[in-house]
Chains A and B, each alone.
Chain A
Amino acid sequence: MTTTSRIGILLALLALVLSTQHQPAGAQAAPRQLRIAVGIDADTLDPISQTTTTVINMVDYIYEPLVDAEYVERPGEIAPKLATRWQISRDGLQYTFTLRSGVTFHDGTPLNAAAVKFSLERLLDPRNRVPNRHLYAAIQSVDVVNDTTVRLTLRQPSPLLLANLGGNTAAILSPAAVQRAGDRFGVAPAGAGTGPYMFKEWRRGEGITVERNPRYWGTRPTFEEVLFRVVPDAGTRLTQLLAGDVHMAMLPPAPDVRNLRRNERVRVVEAATDRTIFLVLNNQWGPFRDVRVRQAMNYAINKKAILASVLFDLGTVAVSPCPPMMFGGVPVAADGWPYNPIRAKQLLAEAGYPDGFEVNFFTPTGRYIQDFQFAQAIASQLRNVGVRANVSTMDWPSYVAMILTPPDRTRIQMIVLGWAWPVLDCDGALYGQFHSSSHPPTGLGPAYYKNDRVDDLLVRGRNEVDPERRKAIYREAQQLIWNDAPWVFLWTQKWYVATVRNLEGVRILPIEKWDTSKATWRP
């Protein structure tokens, strides 16, 4: 290669580089397209098959359910969405919904009672893949009363049905659009929703684009398009934000959050969620059979210190088995379980372990904020009271397989776990972890906790329709569980995104979602 041709190539490369030069984020007019870096790609865009919060978060731009579970201003309250009114019969077995008039689907067909019947029956049809169908098990039939009225008949009263209908698993879809898409509906759901944005394109592995719905019945969003760009690496998401390639990044690396909070070009939006992080103690294994040992474990760990130094304040100390933001949640201990290593040692000695014991301690890596790191901090604190915890980790599918092992064969002695529920109600927080029917392999409560009174309360809470009586039931259950200490109660995790300064009004919902519906751009 001659020197001149070499220089020519270099110049060409340089020109190429300069031609794509990006403006730094900042002094810009409102972009036509809002770009959001998300950590994962969707598996399917079919609302009924959803399992992952971040994917549902994207699906939320396109679809709407009958009612809206309000999460920020009045958590737990049910607001109108595609239904403007609803009536519940006195026996709690019939729900009659009046539909919003003048709403059309993205394909131009009108929203009517037949579409609601189609959508809910599709959700209940056992031939379709609906991982969370059990949330709607109470529905027996869906009937069209007239064009704008639908009636649901229930098998038994269900205090949670309305809240469950408030998620987009129960989105109302255009029957014509679903039929047109056929088998491709999961990957190209064109025209099926009523939401503020319409599906435009899904380039798998790259991103999903939605465009503004010109006929939207509600408030028009600011941005003409939204691109969800798939960026699996947290560090890269942050880099793209700082480089001005995206306007918002979900979950940048936790260790960077402290600096980001001080960065004046960036805004960190963070909020508490209902995800409790805890240590499962196998209540049927060795020392943990003794409630005093389990309490000692709770006393031995300094939650506040770990939150400040390992989690960068991305959590709040747990004050109850059910976070107080949920329906029925009450703080059992205002500051969480107190840190008191002396008391811990006393209790261990009383239980017959004055020199502590050895325990296998598993944690996932990258599933919860700083999980592997805080597990090591916990292990070192436990050492101070004589408990020798051997930390090890594994990938998530293996972890789930470990959790789902029956008690006689389980390897679990102590593990890190997080639990959250998309409906802010204590039933979701408690039943799947503390009712004895939730023991693996049929459930996901690997503490193998059993308290007959708690079992009874949790079943009653599921069937009681009166809100005040439900609250009383959950108050008692939380108290009992807290004192039985089947877990080491650690903290509830925050959820956070980082945005460029110009983007205002982004909110974090306590169910680990972002919300840009009220977002605006300030140049």
Chain B
Amino acid sequence: MSSLSHYVLRRVGLALPTLFGVTLVIFLMVRLIPGDPARIIAGVQASDEEVTRIRRELGVDRPIAVQYARFVGRMLRGDLGLSAVTRAPVLEEIGLRLRPTGLLALSSTVVATAVGLAAGIVSATRQYSVLDYLVMTVALCGVSIPVFWLGIMLMLVFSVHLHWLPAGGYGGAAHFVLPTLTLAAFSIAIIARMTRSSLLETFNQDYVRTARAKGVRRPAVILRHALKNALIPIITVVGLQFGVLLGGAILTETTFAWPGMGRLLVNAITARDYPVIQGVVLTFAVVFTVVNLAVDLLYAYVDPRIHYG
């Protein structure tokens, strides 16, 4: 077996206890916040008997240890239980929402990486120029603007006044433009700043000076010599941003009426729908772990000096 697949196996092996820990933490946490799921589902005007009945139906009348054992037992069989609210399988609920969120996170990552890299390169190569200041000021705004505000503003301009794009809702390519921009804004800024500082660092390295001295053209120096060596921290940030995008999706999805995982989670929390909360958080944890693993593997691809063994 190659050392790489060995490494992947070991990482997956390590991820399992992590995910297990995540389930335990989330299981306990949702039960520590006040609020009785049966009462929330039944509505405030329901009779006590009905609330008791629903509590029994949901199994939340049992001791927490028993509830957890049941949850883990089911999970090991690939069953995340039924939603306390809709009584549809949690896997089905997540399945319906995974695609919209995944596509949005993906399109935002692509846009954020492309725009962020470009802006960072422009900024770094023209350090202390007007353009550099401009890019970094915009980036500062990107980091500071709250997602919901930016979303509403974009809708006001492009939907209400210009009538170019739909104001939220899930559908064809046009529906992706505004949420993608909104969601990517923060990451664009972070990636641009990281690219700039990482590039500037490599500009002072000997090999860059050597490359320039032997007459390599400027764009080639920047892209082939400097950028390639500056990529490691940038990849790390992009990987982390993917997680941020999943989290940011909660606000973006609410603002844009996007039928994704973020909103599923928020609704589940307000309804104290324990099985759905657990399922969504577990899914997020799995995605995050996989992305982290992918980033680690990318390091080796980008930098041949890195070996896994």
A residues whose Cβ falls under 8 Å from a Cβ of B: 13, 16-24, 37, 41, 43-44, 51-52, 126, 129-134, 183, 186-187, 203-206, 229-233, 235-236, 239-240, 242-245, 395-398, 400-402, 404, 421, 432, 442, 444
Contacts and interface: CB of A to CB of B under 8 A. Distances in A.
A110 B85 CA distance: 32
Interface stretch (B70-78, B152-160, B198-206, B278-286): B152-160
Contact of A131 (B42, B97, B163, B270): B42
B88 interface: yes
A79 to B, nearest CB: 24
16 contacts: A13-B177, A20-B164, A43-B85, A126-B53, A132-B43, A133-B50, A186-B87, A204-B86, A205-B263, A205-B264, A233-B257, A235-B255, A236-B168, A397-B272, A400-B39, A401-B34
B256 interface: yes
A416 to B, nearest CB: 14
Contacts of A442: 48
Contacts of B257: 37, 206, 229-233, 236, 240
Given A205-B96, A442-B48, 14 more contacts: A23-B163, A43-B271, A132-B43, A132-B45, A133-B47, A203-B259, A205-B260, A233-B255, A236-B152, A239-B155, A240-B167, A245-B167, A395-B35, A432-B45
B260 A400 contact: no
Contacts of B174: 16-17, 19-20
B93 interface: yes
Interface string B195-237: 0000000000000000000000000000000000000000000
B170 interface: yes
Nearest to A231: B257
In the A-B complex, the 4 residue pairs with the smallest Cβ-Cβ separation, listed nearest first, are: A397-B35, A205-B259, A51-B43, A131-B46
Contacts of A231: 168-169, 257
B69 interface: no
Contact of B34 (A44, A134, A402): A402
Given A239-B167, A397-B270, A16 B173 contact: yes
B166 interface: yes
A235 B254 CA distance: 10
Contacts of B54: 129, 131
A483 B118 CA distance: 72
Contact of B41 (A13, A21, A51, A402): A51
B34 A397 contact: yes
Given A236-B155, A442-B48, A20 B165 contact: yes
Nearest to B267: A41
A398 B35 contact: yes
Interface in B77-91: 85-88
Given A17-B177, A397-B270, A402-B34, A232 B254 contact: yes
Q: Is the interface of A mostly helix, strand, loop or mixed?
A: loop
A203 B257 CA distance: 13
B93 A204 contact: yes
Interface of B: 33-36, 39-50, 53-54, 57, 85-88, 93, 96-97, 100, 148, 151-152, 155-156, 159-160, 163-170, 172-174, 177, 254-257, 259-260, 263-264, 267, 270-272
B37 to A, nearest CB: 8
B169 A245 contact: yes
Contact of A17 (B36, B165, B167): B165
A3 B244 CA distance: 31
Nearest to A237: B257
Contact of A236 (B39, B45, B85, B167): B167
B166 A243 contact: yes
Nearest to A37: B257
Contacts of A235: 152, 255
A244 B256 contact: no
Nearest to A398: B34
A204 to B, nearest CB: 5
A239 to B, nearest CB: 5
Contacts of B34: 397-398, 401-402
Nearest to B166: A245
Contacts of A37: 257
B163 A22 contact: yes
A236 B164 CA distance: 16
A10 B42 CA distance: 52
A243 B259 contact: no
A20 B172 contact: yes
Given A204-B259, A231-B168, A239 B156 contact: yes
B272 to A, nearest CB: 5
Given A131-B50, A236-B257, A397 B166 contact: no
A41 B88 CA distance: 15
Given A204-B96, A232-B257, A239 B36 contact: no
A20 B166 contact: yes
B172 A132 contact: no
A18 B173 CA distance: 12
Nearest to B87: A186
A400 B156 contact: no
Contacts of B88: 186-187
Contacts of A230: 257, 259
Contacts of A233: 148, 254-255, 257
Contacts of B270: 395-397
A21 B50 CA distance: 50
A401 B37 CA distance: 10
A126 B256 CA distance: 40
In this complex, which of B166, B260, B271 has the most chain A Cβ atoms within 10 angstroms of its Cβ?
B166
A242 B260 CA distance: 24
B166 A22 contact: yes
Contacts of B256: 236
A61 B36 CA distance: 31
A16 B165 CA distance: 9
A243 B170 contact: no
A13 B176 CA distance: 11
B23 to A, nearest CB: 22
A464 B286 CA distance: 61
A242 B40 contact: no
Given A129-B57, A236-B255, A244 B43 contact: no
B268 to A, nearest CB: 11
A397 B30 CA distance: 12
Contacts of A43: 41, 85-86, 271
A246 B271 CA distance: 27
Nearest to B266: A232
B87 A51 contact: no
A263 to B, nearest CB: 12
A442 B270 CA distance: 22
B5 to A, nearest CB: 35
Nearest to B82: A183
A444 B45 contact: yes
B301 to A, nearest CB: 21
A401 B152 CA distance: 34
A313 B203 CA distance: 64
Contacts of B163: 21-24, 243-244
